[in-house]
Amino acid sequence: MNRIDRLFVDLKGQGRKALIAYVTGGYPTLSVMDKAVKDLVRGGADLIEIGVPFSDPIADGPTIQESSQKALDGGITPGALLDWVKRFRKSHETPLVLMTYMNPVVSRGFDRFAREAKTAGVDGVIVPDLIIEEGGPLEESLARQGIHLIYLVAPTTPKSRREQIARRSKGFLYAVSLTGVTGARRALPKDVGAFLADVRRRSPVPVAVGFGISDPAQARHAAAEADGVIVGSALIQRLKNKEPLLPFARSLRHALDRP
Amino acid sequence: MVREFQSVIGREVKVQIRAFQSGDPDALVACVGGGSNAIGLFAPFYDHKKVAFYGVEAGGEGLRSGRHSATLCTGRPGVLHGARTYVMQDENGQVLPTHSISAGLDYPAVGPEHAFYKDTGRAVYVAATDKEALAGFKMLNETEGLSAALESSHALGFLPRLAKKMKRSQSVVLGLSGRGDKDMAQLAEGFHEPH
């Protein structure tokens, strides 16, 4: 069983929500990122999303864009990140998802990418600039290796299409909370609850909500109508300021678990 | 959609060429950055197989320098901004920085229909360097008194190379996609550099 599926089954049994933490691969360095991921897991993150830096990250806001560029300037490559996953897997069973863009995957070749990801111990892949109409070949390559391709829906996605996308998404469905790019926001849109409730009603797989979630209160609010929350830019901001991640992860965990 | 609306260029050429000759032109030449003006000139002639298409990309400081925007000449297939097409990229699929004396050609991908034209051999894609573009700009000023945009000047810069291979009786239509008024600062700088 894929680690992502097992996670959501376990959480459902416990009546808990998933805390999904995003870090940019190789930011600020690979060794700092390694420690950050382990702190996040210790602090209660259930699933780790590793951003594979891309030169043109069109779904990302300034915080993650800057971290991607920094990581690329530091010489990070998809190969180096897969090697890191391999090392991480020796000590951790935490589900791992790679968030990348289409071109690095096309460049590597779908089958090679899927094989290497499987060997390293990757459980899922998110490709925000891939639509379901074009996703078939990558889905097949990944499925042959037991890796899930996770699709995204946004508030602007028409309702019937939300359903089509949800049916194609494996592991979970990524619900984008707002119309815009990634990045911490002071407040989430007022109607995020209704949007999530609709998506969740249509989705055969668990729904995780991301984009703009920057503190424990927002995480708790968003989680009310979802199966998990994704926090990214707020973590990158802390890494940039050299602030510790462990207490922040714990506060997010606490906010989600509090009755 | 871009091709559809830009195609007015090629449709007008089909009509207006009759004032000069009876048949089609032998060759069409246009600069290619994203490729909109070129596809607009080429597309209406797609089925006129005797008409040769030449798309001229920005060769910048030369293809070997790495400082250019010649996507079709040097790139490989990828996906950028939602389209599968040729992309200037490194071995890991990271998009490469581009350079050109003209801002309008400075783009690391290209309209996907040009990728199709290239792969099927319907069009030939070449590169003109910054220097050739400046020479092309100068040529049109001296012969016609027209200041072309630096983008179109790349097509003009390639023209002498093409003309050498053609007969006097043959004709070429070159798409002048813009005026050079906007490029005065770049032109002044370009013509002051020793070359």
**pLDDT tens digit at each of 195 positions of chain B:** 999 999 999 999 999 999 999 999 999 999 999 999 999 999 999 999 999 999 999 999 999 999 999 999 999 999 999 999 999 999 999 999 999 999 999 999 999 999 999 999 999 999 999 999 999 999 999 999 999 999 999 999 999 999 999 999 999 999 999 999 999 999 999 998 654
Q: How are beta strands B27-31 and B52-60 bridged, if at all?
A: parallel
Is B84 an interface residue toward A (CB < 8 Å)? Answer: yes
From chain B, pick out residues whose CB is under 8 angstroms from the CB of A108.
92-93
> Across the interface, do A107 and B82 touch by the CB < 8 Å criterion?
no
Residue type at position A25: G
Q: Give catalytic status of residue A243 as yes or no.
A: no
Q: How many CA atoms lie within 13 A of B105 on its CB side?
A: 34
User: What ipTM, to 2 d.p.?
Assistant: 0.88
Residues with Cβ within 8 Å of B186's Cβ and at least 6 positions away in sequence, in order, are: B101, B102, B150
- pLDDT by 10s per residue, chain A, length 259: 999 999 999 999 999 999 999 999 999 999 999 999 999 999 999 999 999 999 999 899 999 999 999 999 999 999 999 999 999 999 999 999 999 999 999 999 999 999 999 999 999 999 999 999 999 999 999 999 999 999 999 999 999 999 999 999 999 999 999 888 888 888 888 889 999 999 999 999 999 999 999 999 999 999 999 999 999 999 999 999 999 999 999 999 999 999 8
> Across the interface, do B95 and A105 touch by the CB < 8 Å criterion?
no
Residues with Cβ within 8 Å of A53's Cβ and at least 6 positions away in sequence, in order, are: A24, A25, A26, A27, A67, A68, A69, A71, A72, A76
Q: How many CA atoms lie within 13 A of A69 on its CB side?
A: 11
The pLDDT value given to residue A24: 98
Q: How many CB atoms lie within 10 A of CB B145?
A: 7
Whether the upstream peptide bond of residue B112 has omega within 30° of 0, thus cis, is no
In chain B, the residue whose alpha carbon lies closest to the alpha carbon of A128 is: B82
Which residues 55-114 of chain A have a CB within 8 Å of chain B?
A: 55-56, 58, 72, 77-79, 102-108
Which residues 120-149 of chain B have a CB within 8 Å of chain A?
A: none
Is B87 an interface residue toward A (CB < 8 Å)? Answer: yes
> Across the interface, do B93 and A129 touch by the CB < 8 Å criterion?
no
Of A58, A108, A129, the CB nearest to B93: A108
Of A58, A106, A129, the CB nearest to B93: A106
**Tokens coding A135:** 């996703």
The pLDDT value given to residue A141: 98
The pLDDT value given to residue B194: 59
- pTM given for the model: 0.91
Is A154 an interface residue toward B (CB < 8 Å)? Answer: no
Q: Give catalytic status of residue A49 as yes or no.
A: yes
The pLDDT value given to residue B193: 63
Q: Dihedral of CA A97/A103/A105/A110: which sign?
A: positive
The pLDDT value given to residue A188: 86
> Across the interface, do A103 and B78 touch by the CB < 8 Å criterion?
yes
Residue A24 gets the label, from left (phi > 0), alpha (psi -120 to 50) or beta, of beta
